[in-house]
């Protein structure tokens, strides 16, 4: 039974071509849209601020798997315009601020934390304590960007993780990672780019408390 990979956006599963019904695949027919901190699909209202969570958002449309790999679109060559370089502006330096004498008396500062900030921090701590690397279907994925590894036990901790330490950049039709800038116009080709940095897998999502 031949098995091939599905190229529907948001799926990427390996399926049996002889068992491919009209309800075999859940995918996104739209395009990825990045705006401010939100990462979402144009076909539905599902979004995430975390890129790893965005990649595993369940599809909004049901249909058969697609075995046809999308064709790479030839990227247009950018026009190079040479502008005359303006003369550099003179650097104006301010006189240094006089450092206080080491003999000056020290004053103890009393920091004050507002009650509203305390409540927000406590809420974030509770949220962080309940956060794990498990997705909705109970599968634990690596949260490093660009890595598709799945946790299979303690042996998975010894595997080398290849990931992108940078952030995804979508600009004028091009999609690339800020850490290696291998540009492509196809979203699937962007997701398939192997990581440019090696390290350890991250099975839990970090919660940043500001």
Q: What is the pTM of this model?
A: 0.40
Q: How far apart are CA 108 and CA 101, in angstroms?
A: 17
Residues 6+ apart with CB under 8 A from 141: 52, 56, 133, 135, 148, 149, 150, 151, 203
Q: Tens of pLDDT along 16-62?
A: 888 888 988 999 988 888 888 888 888 888 888 888 888 888 889 99
- What distances in angstroms separate CA 116 from CA 119, 122, 125, 208, 210, one per listed residue? 5, 10, 14, 18, 14
Q: In this predicted structure, what is the pLDDT of residue 99? A: 77
Pairing of strands 61-63, 47-48: unpaired
The model's pLDDT over 56-104, given as tens digits with 9 standing for 90+, comes to: 888 899 999 998 888 766 666 777 777 677 888 888 888 888 877 778 7
What residue ranges define each of the domains in the chain, with the CATH number in brackets? Answer: 3-63 (4.10.1130.20), 140-199 (4.10.1130.20)
Tell me what the pLDDT averaged over the chain comes to.
81
């Amino acid at each position: 039974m031949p098995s091939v990979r599905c190229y529907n956006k948001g799926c990427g599963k390996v399926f049996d071509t002889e068992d491919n019904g009209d309800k075999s695949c859940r995918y996104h027919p739209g395009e990825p849209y990045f705006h401010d901190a939100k990462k979402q699909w144009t076909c539905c209202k599902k979004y995430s601020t975390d890129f790893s969570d965005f990649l595993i958002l369940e599809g909004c449309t049901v249909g058969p798997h697609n075995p046809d790999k999308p064709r790479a679109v030839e990227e247009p060559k950018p026009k190079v315009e040479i502008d005359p370089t303006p003369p550099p502006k003179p650097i104006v330096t301010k006189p240094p601020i006089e450092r206080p004498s080491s003999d000056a008396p020290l004053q103890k500062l009393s920091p004050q934390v507002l009650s509203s900030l305390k409540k927000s921090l406590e809420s974030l701590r509770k949220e962080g304590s309940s956060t794990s690397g498990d997705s909705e279907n109970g599968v634990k994925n690596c949260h490093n960007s660009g890595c598709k590894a799945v946790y299979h036990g303690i042996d998975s901790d010894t595997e080398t993780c290849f990931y992108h330490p940078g952030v995804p950049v979508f600009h004028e039709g091009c999609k690339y990672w800020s850490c290696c800038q291998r540009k492509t116009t196809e979203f699937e080709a962007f997701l398939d780019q192997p990581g440019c940095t090696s390290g350890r897998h991250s099975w839990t999502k970090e919660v940043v408390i500001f």
